[in-house]
Copies of this chain bind each other. A is one copy, B any other.
Amino acid sequence: MKILIADDHDLVRDTLAAFLGREKDFEIDTASDLADALDKINAKPRYHLVLLDYSMPGMNGLEGLAKAKEANEPWPVAIMSGIAPKAIAQEALDAGAIGFLPKTMAANSMINAIRFMSAGETFVPVQFMTAEEPEETNELAKGLSPRELEVLSGLCRGLANKEIARELDLQEVTIKLHVKTLCRKLDAKNRTQAAMIAKEAGLF
């Protein structure tokens, strides 16, 4: 079974490759970034499974996943991550990943996970699916109406009131009002501060 491991941490990649390489039927290739991975994938025989590190040069969030997935059709691509924010796991699956492997998982279960995934089964560690999301809405979002959140999103993109108004099909004055209440609720002095507070809280 041909497997490609792409991770920019040489240490992790090499030792992981060495570890997996001890399985008789595993044939491991490695890449140090997305471009390298795509080159190897396109070099004719596709891999039965491609493992991509989430934070690796070229990945740019989950953009790289799409590219790798397309290149490796019809075989699957999975995402690995060391920092592993729970939300990313779901996003990765939504974006077409066959699985999500946190680096906190045991090395031996990784072998099983790889066999699962190369057989077309989706794999995500239970703790990533069960432990729900205590913070659906980022604390800050509590107390903000849906409209206000939409406006806040505009603020965070540096849009002018007029632009937000067009986007939401409202009058500019209405946006001003929402901006004002947002500043009050977020304890911000102006739109810029409101945007920074939202960003700080991880919103948007």
Q: Which residues of A are at the interface with B, using a C-beta cutoff of 8 A?
A: 8-16, 18-19, 22, 82, 101-108, 110, 155-158, 160, 188-196, 199-200
* Closest residue of B by beta carbon distance from A158: B193
Interchain Cβ contacts under 8 Å between A and B, 12 examples: A8-B104, A10-B104, A12-B82, A13-B107, A14-B107, A15-B15, A15-B107, A18-B18, A158-B194, A158-B196, A192-B195, A195-B195
Cβ A12 vs Cβ B12 within 8 A: yes
How far, in angstroms, from A157 to B188 measured CA to CA in the complex?
Answer: 10
Cβ A10 vs Cβ B199 within 8 A: no
How far, in angstroms, from A16 to B16 measured CA to CA in the complex?
Answer: 7
A192 cross-chain contacts in B, Cβ below 8 A: 155, 158, 191-192, 195
Cβ B107 vs Cβ A10 within 8 A: yes
Question: Closest CB-CB distance, A49 to chain B, in whole Å?
Answer: 16
Cβ A11 vs Cβ B158 within 8 A: no
Copies of this chain, complex-wide, total 2
* Closest residue of B by beta carbon distance from A11: B103
How far, in angstroms, from A11 to B20 measured CA to CA in the complex?
Answer: 11
How far, in angstroms, from A60 to B162 measured CA to CA in the complex?
Answer: 37
How far, in angstroms, from A13 to B15 measured CA to CA in the complex?
Answer: 9
Tell me whether A106 and B10 are in contact in the complex, defined as CB-CB below 8 angstroms, given that A158-B188, A191-B192, A193-B158 are known contacts.
yes
Tell me whether A196 and B193 are in contact in the complex, defined as CB-CB below 8 angstroms, given that A19-B19, A107-B14, A110-B11 are known contacts.
no
How far, in angstroms, from A110 to B10 measured CA to CA in the complex?
Answer: 10
Question: Closest CB-CB distance, A88 to chain B, in whole Å?
Answer: 15
A13 cross-chain contacts in B, Cβ below 8 A: 107
* Closest residue of B by beta carbon distance from A194: B158
* Closest residue of B by beta carbon distance from A197: B158
